[in-house]
Structure 1
Amino acid sequence: MRLFAVRDYRHLFGAQVIALFGTGLTTVALGLLAYDLAGPRAGMVLGTALTIKMIMYVVIAPLAAAYIDRLPRRMLLVVLDVIRGAVVLALPLVSEVWHIYLLIGLLQAASAAFTPTFQAVIPDIVPDEAAYTRALSASQVASTMESLLSPVLAAVALTFMTFDRLFLGTSAGFVVSALLVLSTRVPDARPSARTRAWDKAVGGIRTFLTTPRLRGIMALNLVVASAGSIVVVSTVNYVRDELGGTQQDVAWMLAASGTGTLLAALVLPRVLERAAARTVMTTGAGVLVGGTAAAVTMIAAGLTTWAGTAVTWAVIGIGMALIITPTGKVLRSSVERNAIPEAFAAQFSLSHLAWLITYPVAGVLGTNSGLTLAWSALAVLAAAGAVAALLLWPRHDGEGTADGAAVTSWHRPGKDRSTLTKAA
């Protein structure tokens, strides 16, 4: 199946790309807004705002999964896009730090319901297994292109406009995204394997807790969040205060991390055809542990150079892609088809629970005790997550159902089942 020959997928992919770029501009602008309002305490403000985001994701995503099969998914996605566009449009008008917190809470509540709904739609419009794998890769490439190009676009835009105008681009992106979703034929959700709302809300999380490979992914989420928080929360203060950079320099340094992610995403589809997902993802954990250790060494020894920072940020970007890209495929192979929405919502919630732990460390500890102590704590968390993943995810664990048995659809005539089991 030719992936982009599927009209509905093509439109949804376009909606995702446009909304991602809008979100990327918001990330850059939000950091600069925090610096404009709080100066040296921008890291704490940004860390608090992102912590609110994580709370919304952890709480709202399971609830969305519980009720998703009762709502028309297309209209739900459109309404959530419109809400996000309206909230972002209000961000340039804020004059107090608490205004940021209030609007971010509303914005991220909508995003927490949107993302797992969007992810759960893809298997229904791209049922072919090979095409779905390519769809996962395309989605990751889109995310990495956003992380690379959004800061670049922001840096260019900031040469002739103030940062608050960037929010206008985000709002427009959400509106266009809503129009593209409206043009698709998104099927309603299949009835869940569970009937009670509470069972649906916690069912995906229970699956994670009882499935060895998914427990490993929970640990890897902590590795990603620990390394990623250094980049997302600390870059604005690090570049402005330690390196003496400008607003444009903040954007370019964020683009360095995106470059690493993009390079990894371009080669991963072929790698995943030959290598086990566990191997790729644990390798990514090792890369992130190395990246956080390099960051700590750099700040503690006073080796704060532009080139060293850019390389370290790029390494962190590579490691994050190695873990995030294969996750969707592992999730899909671990549950029955009608439990896919719950699994994606659980991963969305649990992965952001990890960020909920690491954002305050980067923001609050970094502001009150310095970047050296904050980054050291994050490096320790990354190492702990990597070790836990190796212990929790058995080396010869097959990609299958929650009890660890291989899913029947992975068995192909002429192939030995033991060989397929090792492919995890």
Structure 2
Amino acid sequence: MSTLFRNRDYLRLFTAQVSGLFGTGLTTVALGLLAYELAGGAAAAVLGTALTIKMVVYVTVAPIVGAYAHRFPRRAFLTALHLVRGAIVLALPFVDQIWQIYVLIAVLQTASAAYTPTYQVIIPDILPDERDYTRALSATQLAATMETLLSPMLAAAALTVMSFHWLFVGTAIGFGVSAALVLATRIPNATAAPEGSFRERITVGVRIFAATPRLRGLLGLNLVVAAAGSVIMVNTVNYVRDTLGGTQSGVAMLLAANGFGTMIIALALPRVLDRVGARPVMLTGAATLILGLVSGIALSAAAAGDWRWAAAIAVWAIIGSGTAAILTPTGQVLRRSSQPADRPALFAAQFSLSHLAWLLTYPIAGWLTTAAGFTATWVTLAVLAAAGFTVAVRMWPRKDPEEITHLHEVGTIAPTRLGDAVRVDERFFRHTHAYVIDTDHPRWPQPNRLLATAA
């Protein structure tokens, strides 16, 4: 990774991401404690509602940003979004009503929904080399992991000497540092504008997902991540405070265990991905998440005892490791499945579609826990995770070559785009290249009928 960080623009952008992530991590801890202060035993329902609002915003805003991202100067856009998020977070310490949480979360996450896909699509432009990009994906996941690991530790230390309300101030500082670093970075603006009307641009990412087998499998994996992640994001506070009888520091400790599991896997993945590819790694991660959920179910139904702390730490760490195995290679899969002009729309589609899964699982984790308890909730989430895993295995073919030989019918594509294609008869050209869904290839070629476009 040392060669990766010699790229000064990437280093600044990466550092800005880390700063913003640590601010977000402090907000995660503080928001859970704020919900518990205002709602007590109903904190899970409050968090579930707040996170559901977040997912609705993510699902609706990201595709619009993907359609128009090429029109904005990227550096100014990212800087402004950091500043907006910092301002909103500064208002959270003054909240004294639950509805105020919901309003501020909606505004905060609108800015985040615009920021994340824009940031993700910049990285391949700064790092065009595939090996550098693969390591950048691992570094990105590692940064998110270190935030998950260290932010709760920092929060736990801070909470011994101050109120959790001050954690929001730390978040705002993190966003301010991120904005300054982005301003100091040379970020290329989009060089290729997507074709078509607004409706076509806003749906192109979803159309690529629907037509690409490996991306249909990714949809199933998104559900697995959301099902397991909802336990961490929504249920940790109530599980520690009400079941384990822990304190604020106990909440931070379990979140840190989840981050530690993620970090270990993120550090090991670059070489593994180079050797075996994304599919086996991501499916193994999905199986690990299901194992974590099943272990959580057994833990929730077990008798009381001090041993449950150690068991909970292990379960939270298992879920963290499975999450890293799926999320780290995701950018690589998206890059492989799109042309540069379609990449912003595809990253935005993944952002929305993955959060659509969270939109399903967050309310279950919040509201069902309040009504029926942890065991019933985690059983439900485990069933959803198993369904997602089944979809991934069935939709993502075991043999998934990058280059595919296919046919183009004469007259359906401009001759200048056929390159080294070979005329096989009066009707067809035969062509072999890295295959992605685009205007020239609107359908995936079938194994028994290698025809990409038909009249």
The normalised TM-score by structure 1 is: 0.94
Contact 1:43 1:237 in 2 (8 A): yes
Which letter does structure 2 place at the counterpart of 1:190?
T
The CA distance in 2 between the partners of 1:162 and 1:332, in whole Å, is 43
Q: CA deviation at 1:406?
A: 5.5
Which letter does structure 2 place at the counterpart of 1:318?
S
**Aligned residue for 2:65?**
64
Deviations 1:235-280 (A, max 9, x none): 0000000000001110111101001000111111111111121100
**TM alignment of 1:23-422, pairs within 5 A:** 23-302=24-303, 305-399=308-402, 407=434
The CA distance in 1 between the partners of 2:378 and 2:101, in whole Å, is 25
Change (3 A) 1:399 1:233: farther
**Aligned residue for 2:13?**
12
**Corresponding residue SS for 1:326:** helix
Runs (4 or more) in structure 1 with deviation over 4 Å come to none
Contact 1:62 1:202 in 2 (8 A): yes
Which letter does structure 2 place at the counterpart of 1:342?
A
Q: CA deviation at 1:74?
A: 0.8
Deviations 1:199-241 (A, max 9, x none): 1111011101110000000100000000010111000000000
Contact 2:12 2:185 in 1 (8 A): yes
Contact 2:402 2:435 in 1 (8 A): no
Which letter does structure 2 place at the counterpart of 1:62?
P
The CA distance in 1 between the partners of 2:47 and 2:229, in whole Å, is 14
Change (3 A) 1:303 1:381: farther
**Corresponding residue SS for 2:78:** helix
The CA distance in 2 between the partners of 1:303 and 1:266, in whole Å, is 35
Q: CA deviation at 1:193?
A: 3.3
Specify the structure having the higher radius of gyration (Cα): 2
Change (3 A) 1:362 1:399: farther
**Aligned residue for 2:452?**
none
Query: Number of residues paired by the alignment?
Result: 408
The CA distance in 2 between the partners of 1:113 and 1:291, in whole Å, is 32
**Corresponding residue SS for 1:325:** helix
Deviations 1:137-166 (A, max 9, x none): 111111111111111111111111110100
Q: Structure 1 residues 299-308 or 136-145, which shifts more?
A: 299-308
Q: CA deviation at 1:192?
A: 2.8
The CA distance in 1 between the partners of 2:118 and 2:240, in whole Å, is 36
The CA distance in 1 between the partners of 2:237 and 2:380, in whole Å, is 19
Q: CA deviation at 1:301?
A: 2.9
Which letter does structure 2 place at the counterpart of 1:238?
Y
The CA distance in 2 between the partners of 1:240 and 1:52, in whole Å, is 24
The CA distance in 2 between the partners of 1:399 and 1:246, in whole Å, is 51
Q: CA deviation at 1:388?
A: 1.0
Q: CA deviation at 1:136?
A: 1.1
Q: What 5-or-longer segments of structure 1 have no aligned partner?
A: 410-424
Q: What 5-or-longer segments of structure 2 have no aligned partner?
A: 407-431, 437-455
Contact 1:84 1:171 in 2 (8 A): yes
The CA distance in 2 between the partners of 1:352 and 1:208, in whole Å, is 15
Deviations 1:112-138 (A, max 9, x none): 000000111111111122111111111
Change (3 A) 1:400 1:193: farther
Q: CA deviation at 1:190?
A: 2.3
Q: CA deviation at 1:197?
A: 1.9
The CA distance in 1 between the partners of 2:48 and 2:403, in whole Å, is 37
Structure whose residues are more often strand by fraction: 2
Contact 1:398 1:406 in 2 (8 A): no
Q: CA deviation at 1:106?
A: 0.2
Structure whose residues are more often helix by fraction: 1
Which letter does structure 2 place at the counterpart of 1:350?
L
Contact 2:30 2:164 in 1 (8 A): yes
Q: CA deviation at 1:194?
A: 1.9
Contact 2:192 2:340 in 1 (8 A): no
The CA distance in 1 between the partners of 2:401 and 2:169, in whole Å, is 47
**Corresponding residue SS for 1:194:** coil
Change (3 A) 1:400 1:226: farther
Deviations 1:295-338 (A, max 9, x none): 01111233661001000010000000011111111110111122
Contact 1:334 1:407 in 2 (8 A): no
The CA distance in 2 between the partners of 1:91 and 1:27, in whole Å, is 12
